[in-house]
Amino acid sequence: MKKFYITTAIDYVNGRPHIGHAYEKIIADVLARWHRIKGEDVFFLTGTDDNAQKNAEAAKEARKPIKQFVNDNAKIFQELCKVFNISNDYFIRTTEKRHIKFSQEIFSKSFKKGDIYKGKYEGYYCLGCEAFLTEKDLVDEKCPEHNKKPEWREEESYFFKLSKYKDKIISLVSSKDFIIPKDKKNEILARLKSEELKDLSVSRKNTEWGIITPIDKEHSIYVWYDALGNYVSALDYPKGKKFKKYWPADVHVIGKGINWFHSVIWPAILFSANITQPKRILVHGYLTVNGSKISKSLGNSIDPIELATKYPADSIRYVLLREVSLGDDGDFSEEALTSRHNNELANDLGNLVSRVLTLAEKNFSKGLKKSQVDKKLFSKLNIKKIDSLMENFEINNALSEVWKFINECNKHINQEKPWEMKGKELEKHIYSLLESIRILSILLSPFLPETSNKILKQLNQKPGNLKEAKPGLVKIYKVKKEGILFNKIEEKMLKPDKIENNLDKIDIKEFSKLDLRVARIKEVGDHPDAKKLYILILDLGKGEHELQVVSGLKENYKKEELINKRVIVIRNLKHAVIRGIESQGMLLAAVFKDKVSLAQPDKDIEIGAKVM
């Protein structure tokens, strides 16, 4: 069986976790869960860095014994994992005996090899980074990562011959997939080739907190030389079964701020200790909140545990995964969460499951046996593509591909109208739709684990794997609908004067986000559950998918007046479900008193033309 070992960075416990901590763990969790449904033997590690000097400083400020402070805060990070259904196989703490033993062993090994020597360090030290910085690293005399002036320190220290391994590190980093994405790889390579690689201070003359070096009782091991080793110590190096089974790590998931430590310092330590290198460093960007960097001084740090008391954990997972392209910085806002929760989770997915289960219960209360599968429904489900995107760490694109199938299922219901069917035809369509949401429960399980379990419970099915994500496997369905998947979140409305101010400030960049197209109304039908609504099918020209729009034009236009009429449609509007029917766009119209008049382009304008 193929193995997959994935890790997150271990977190400092000098304070409570913020939304960025949750984001990293969710990324790793999705990847771990995906490889599990592929049938692989997965080991997923996360944990806390207990030994950092900044933890000791924070404990003093809190007027607590260091050990108690660290233990209390480590529990909060463990709670974070539970709240967001993080499926880690182990939660390591660097105060564990086996980790202490490992750190001292590799320190001693490097010392005996001649890679560690005693010296004196003079330089700028950033407590936030737990690192010495050069003047080149500073911006306006401040650490760019923490926006604080570093301290000038002069101290006795043991040094690690980082410079000795420069050529080996450059060769490793230059390999195709060692650092992902490519721009983060190029950043490291540029720095390695343009700067002198100085030897690294790996101890501090402080034995109050941390791991004592095995060669000098007056020194404790510098945090990065200690902390990075958790990825190996958790596997019981060197003779443990887990080490032999899972090392090297397949993926280290980290934030861009610690890329240098993982891509340069960690490989050098491993080279010195004669331990195989990890296969891949996956670097994610930072989260901003409402467009601003997360900062205590700005007061915009979001506690994810508190956030999960207001919104479902799956909704938070979803917006973080869907909004942000892995590797790039991304923004988090409660407005974006509310919008995606209501429009995509509640409307798209929630309504699909509700409609299918309602039809199944109504027509097959005693059970529905395996029937013929509607191949057309599954023709656009591309699991190989989704898997390929996941293997390339394009999580948001993979999730988008799953959502295409959700929208296809909703479109299928609207077009086929199974509520009007009987006999074998009805059995075929309901069975196929039940199979579609079973398959969706498998595909969504890495992203929305709680939601996936709720769907399976109503289908009376057990969790499946990726090989089972194909139609025609279930012999009989006995479904039991239990409420709805997602209750809608009440959206915060802007006051009228705020709306006017916002309109005044809209610039051309904002307006240009609208994709306005010329379309032809191809079909007009009555909404089955709303007397005042039409269902329009719009032609957008060659090579374009037709759009289905639910429109309130019934009191202003007869069907024959609308057929073949050229209109202007907003093509990239978020899809909505109106009275059980999906609407994929909106038409432009002028409204005066009770009269509605559709905006129409000239007849010689081509169908599909972009409206500027």
Task: Catalytic residue, from 296, 422, 513, 610: name it.
Answer: 296
Q: Is 409 a catalytic residue?
A: no
Task: Catalytic residue, from 109, 146, 470, 559: name it.
Answer: 146
Q: Closest Cα partner for 178 from 248, 246, 90?
A: 248
Distance CA 36, CA 390 (A): 13
Helix H or strand E encompassing 576: strand 576-578
Q: Is 146 a catalytic residue?
A: yes
- CA 321 to each of CA 158, 175, 331, 557: distance values in angstroms, whole numbers, following the listed order: 42, 28, 11, 42
Task: Catalytic residue, from 67, 293, 376, 595: name it.
Answer: 293
Task: Catalytic residue, from 35, 99, 143, 184: name it.
Answer: 143
Q: Closest Cα partner for 69 from 135, 14, 10, 7?
A: 14
Q: Is 143 a catalytic residue?
A: yes
Q: Is 2 a catalytic residue?
A: no
Q: Is 219 a catalytic residue?
A: no
Task: Catalytic residue, from 81, 129, 256, 262: name it.
Answer: 129
By CB atoms closer than 10 A (0-12, 13-18, 19+), residue 190 is exposed
Q: Is 129 a catalytic residue?
A: yes
Q: Is 126 a catalytic residue?
A: yes
Query: Which of the 8 DSSP states describes residue 189?
Result: H
Distance CA 386, CA 443 (A): 9
The residues pairing with 519 across neighbouring beta strands, listed in sequence order, are 567
Instruction: Provide CB contacts within 8 A for 418, sequence distance 6+.
Output: 359, 426, 429, 430, 433
Contact between 576 and 596 under an 8 Å Cβ cutoff? The reply is: no
Contact between 519 and 567 under an 8 Å Cβ cutoff? The reply is: yes
Q: Closest Cα partner for 396 from 466, 439, 467, 447?
A: 447
Q: Is 545 a catalytic residue?
A: no
Helix H or strand E encompassing 28: helix 19-37
- Helical H runs in 445-507? 449-459, 496-505
Residues catalogued as catalytic: 18, 21, 126, 129, 143, 146, 293, 296
